[in-house]
Amino acid sequence: MDLQKYGPWALVIGGSEGVGAAFARILAADGFKLVLVARKPGPLEELKAELEAGGAEVRIVSADLSKPDVLDQVRAVTDDVEVGLLVYNAGANNTRGLIIDLPREVPDSVIAINVHGQVDFSRHYGKLMAERGHGGIILTGSLGGYLGSPTLAAYCASKAFSRVYTEALWGEMEPLGVDVLHLNIGFTATPAMERLGMPIEYAEAPEVVAQEGLDNIANGPLHIVSTPGNVEQVRKVGGVLDDRGRLVKENAIPPREETGKAAQQQLSEAGQSG
């Protein structure tokens, strides 16, 4: 990982275990200084001690990512350093049920973490990166974001938001020198999945997921982790994967003053194809 382009500090949201911890270990080995954010202080302290024993400089923030003041809490330990890489890895779902039966706080929490959190953190740190002319942002998503699934309504919708938002952010940040990637993750062997009773012996290793994200950060806007079956599953439910960057650029909604011209061209092309 290019420390000059993406360093010296990396901020990993959801960075205490699983994929987040894998990101932290890889980045520490590459010489990055780290800020790790997660809810549970115990795993954060353990990972901090492990990384510091290997020579890394590490700061930690124990915070509830669903709360509106979480960015302020993280800024309290990052405003004096240069964060060149943001990895927003939080967003697992631990409660399934009919949306009409779930308590309001369940979908609110999912939306706060997967939607408001990704937007707030990428806006703040992305602006600083753009002012410097370099940096990178990885926002993790899920294969669940390609199709609505009963009992996972808010989760699937928020993951779809994450993917589309990242594509737009990629289009905005590319000319400013900042790499942006939506890392689409499938079934992964994380402690969160294990706590839900999932058979993680059949899942992808977190280290593979994290390494693929870092290896493909400059190949945005989208990378689907290469676990066998992931790409095929997305294609099955109608996901268009080929050359997403070109599709985003060529089909972006035009400025207002160009709307009439774009509509005329669309009608012309539709007539020719008919």
State the catalytic residue, choosing from 6, 146, 155, 165. Answer: 155
Report whether pLDDT(151) > 60: yes
Q: What is the pLDDT of residue 196?
A: 65
Lowest mean pLDDT among 36-40, 133-137, 259-263: 259-263
Which parts of the chain are beta strand (E)?
9-13, 33-38, 58-62, 83-88, 135-142, 178-185, 222-224
Report whether pLDDT(267) > 70: no
Span 126-154, average pLDDT: 95
Q: What is the pLDDT of residue 212?
A: 96
| 223 close to 212: Cβ distance less than 8 angstroms | yes
105-139 per-position pLDDT tens digit: 999 999 999 999 999 999 999 999 999 999 999 99
How do 135-142 and 33-38 pair as beta strands?
A: unpaired
Q: What is the pLDDT of residue 164?
A: 96
End-to-end CA distance of the chain: 49
Report whether pLDDT(19) > 80: yes
pLDDT band, very low/low/confident/very high, at 258 (cuts 50, 70, 90):
confident
Amino acid at 244: R
- Written as one string, the DSSP assignment of 69-87 is THHHHHHHHHTTS-EEEEE
Span 33-56, average pLDDT: 97
Q: What is the pLDDT of residue 236?
A: 83
Q: What is the pLDDT of residue 202?
A: 67
In the predicted model, what is the mean pLDDT of the chain? Answer: 90
168 or 267, which is more confident: 168
Report whether pLDDT(31) > 80: yes
202 included as an active-site residue: no
Report whether pLDDT(261) > 80: no
Q: Give percent above pLDDT 90 in the chain.
A: 69
- Three-state secondary-structure class, residue 214: helix
Lowest mean pLDDT among 9-18, 53-62, 74-83, 142-151: 142-151
Lowest mean pLDDT among 12-26, 134-148, 202-216, 229-243: 229-243
Domains with residue ranges and CATH for the chain: 3-241 (3.40.50.720)
171-198 per-position pLDDT tens digit: 999 999 999 999 999 888 776 766 667 6
Distance CA 250, CA 61 (A): 41
Cβ-count burial 76-96 (b if 16+ within 10 Å, e if not): eebeeeebbbbbbbbbbbebe
